Chains A and B, each alone.
Chain A
Amino acid sequence: MKKMAFAAVALALGMSGPARADAVLVLNSDEASFSILTRSGRTELARLPVGREPHHLLVTPDGKEVLVGSTVTNELLVLDAKTGERRRVVRDIIDPYHLGFSPNGKWFVTAAYRLDHVDIYRGEDFKLAGRIFIDGLPSHMAFDAESKTVFVTLQQTGRLVAFDLQTQAIKWNVKVGEAPAGVVMLPDNKRLLVALTGADGLVVVDPKDGSTTGTLQTGKGAHNFFPKGDGRHYFLGNRVEGTVSLIDTQDMKVVGSIRVPGGPDCMDITPDGKELWVTQRFLRRIAVVDIEQMKMVASIPVGKSPHGVLMLKSGATGSAVAPVRAASTAGDQK
């Protein structure tokens, strides 16, 4: 069975450049597996085991590997970014719920959601530089452009915390609203957007001191961002309302809304920029949204509680794979 699964993966990923470029990885967080789908066929090709409670994944700065955080086994499972095969396991990465590399690749950060700590590792060898215990369910993260600061949301206590990457000291720790989750640094490096899952929109935060400079209503359960790719528009999933909003960050207004039922969570965009793929946690599916039409055009069955999703951008060679430096949920670094 396992051999058949890998054969299917090989068919999808191993034949040619275009074929490899067609793959999508989805983490099924409640059944310890990941699904491999084809974008063109919109079908699941294979489902392979991966750790325990995998939630988020990201491509390494060199584009050669995909890291999957296995939260219960305290490991990073390293997959080949071209073939999807497992290469190795990085042990003793405790409760790696959300993952991110700083833009310069020097730092690797994990948010231990269940165990209430933020870990800062050296990006080159995953050596722990500092572990900061902090109450409140560390949830998602974003980095500043200079790779000096990581910003982490605390979902339970409603706070956003800025950590100095070099010293691992807390720069500031402020209340931003109910259940903050997704956080993204805008390209101007002067505004952080924080999604409030316990409310119905986002807040704009000044990365210098954490002060709130604006708000925007999007939908109940605003949870996570993904950049459209033009440096100006961002998608934001509203989990309770079952919609995805399109936000113009220049005018700070909602310019579109798409119905995506089933608790929409993580997102990624096809390399041609035409489709947005959104995990539907409750429905055990992944939705395909036509961005031009702004509507859901397909919903593909995957495993239980699908969470992180990642498009292999080209898959042809390591250098051709678009570097994705933050987890698929923190699309700001993409």
Chain B
Amino acid sequence: MRQLIDIWIDAQTWLFETFVGPVLFRFGLMAWYEPGYSAVEFVMLGVVQIAIIAIGMRFFEKRWPLEKSSSDDRLILVDQVYTLLNKLGILPLAIFIVTYPLVQEIELTVRTWGFAPPRLERVLPWLGDNALASFLVYFVLYDFAAYWLHRAQHGFAWWWSLHSLHHSQRRMTVWTDDRNHVIDDLLITLALVLFSQVVGVQPGEYVLILMIGRLVESWSHANVDMGFGWLGDRLLVGPRFHRLHHALSTPEERHIQDHNFAPVFPIWDILFGTAVYDGKHRPTGVDDPIVDGDNGRGWIAQQVTVFGRFMRSLVPGLRRASVQ
């Protein structure tokens, strides 16, 4: 095990000292020396995630596909672009650059008022001595926040105008999870980072939560009819549970997408009355032809089109017009 860790560390150190460190030094960015090193690991973990998706998860999709191969398969390509941009750290870096000054300013402002955000360890001191319990508690809290943010994405017309891009995919696969507008990603990141700071998630845990959480979410978008059994499906979100959230609405089920919001732990849907376990197979996508038009567009065209949709949604009088 130590040998594997050493190989990982050696690779990270070599990549950093060869490519990243010299650039930071050259441009007077030594304050970012340690974060830069962590960023290299973030990218390396991204490569691992891509490998897990492309080899592990895709195996199940190929072996037991729910929706058979069709002409819509071409729609998957853009989702793969999203996944690469996200997992390789390109979009997260851009989002970090934009959000960091704001997050820092908020924390500094709060601090100048003499207020230090309470940390969870104050309430539960035993957490400080138990790394696994601490990780799980923070993971659950993080997911709780993510659940309500997800509901907000569906509840506000302006936010739905962005988030609808994620739902417009008719050919949902393991690549679909990262298909989001950059502004949507930015808002979610900002909210979750602030939440994490308030409750006391430390950076190392945050990265791990992000990695495990996003892997679960990639799997929950898989084109398979699989779950974890009666109990398992109530403990962890799987493809069968989440596919319902992406279901195409019909006159009989106009609000079908307003269910099964939970990213990782279905307990939130169960507690707040939004869980549906009916085992039915439904096509995915949206019934709004304008939003459905996202399909077939490339990454840039989708970003531009959805930005226009977002701007129009900010004009008073316009309301969500997709799955209502």
Contact = CB atoms under 8 A, between A and B. Distances in A.
A137 to B, nearest CB: 6
B64 interface: no
B31 A137 contact: yes
Contacts of A53: 202-203
B138 to A, nearest CB: 11
A305 interface: yes
Given A49-B128, A51-B128, A74 B31 contact: no
B153 interface: no
Interface string B85-127: 0000000000000000000000110011000100101000000
Nearest to B128: A49
Given A72-B119, A179-B31, A32 B37 contact: no
Contacts of A94: 111, 116
Contacts of A102: none
Contacts of B119: 52, 72-74
Contacts of A30: 38, 203-204
B130 interface: yes
Contacts of A239: 33
Contacts of A92: 116
B131 A198 contact: no
Interface of B is mostly: helix
A281 interface: yes
Among B111, B131, B200, max chain A CB count under 10 A is at B111
Nearest to A72: B202
Contact of B21 (A32, A179, A240): A240
A33 B25 CA distance: 29
A85 interface: no
A305 B200 contact: no
A159 to B, nearest CB: 13
Contacts of B9: 282-284
B2 A32 contact: no
Interface string A290-301: 000000000001
Nearest to A304: B204
A49 B121 CA distance: 13
A115 B204 contact: no
Contacts of B16: 282
Contacts of B189: none
A7 B110 CA distance: 43
Interface in A73-95: 73-74, 92, 94
B30 interface: yes
Nearest to A155: B31
B30 A73 contact: no
A220 B23 CA distance: 13
B107 A115 contact: yes
Contacts of A51: 128
B252 interface: no
B13 A283 contact: yes
Interface in B305-321: none
B83 interface: no
A307 to B, nearest CB: 9
Which 7 pairs, one residue from A and one from B, show the smallest C-beta to C-beta distance? A179-B30, A52-B202, A282-B13, A198-B30, A197-B30, A49-B129, A156-B31
Given A94-B116, A137-B31, A156-B31, 14 more contacts: A30-B38, A31-B131, A32-B202, A51-B128, A52-B121, A73-B200, A74-B116, A74-B119, A197-B33, A220-B25, A221-B25, A263-B37, A281-B34, A282-B37
Interface of B: 2, 5-6, 9-10, 12-13, 16-17, 21-22, 25, 28, 30-31, 33-34, 37-38, 107-108, 111-112, 116, 119, 121, 128-131, 200, 202-204
9 contacts: A53-B203, A73-B119, A73-B200, A115-B107, A178-B30, A198-B30, A240-B25, A301-B6, A304-B204
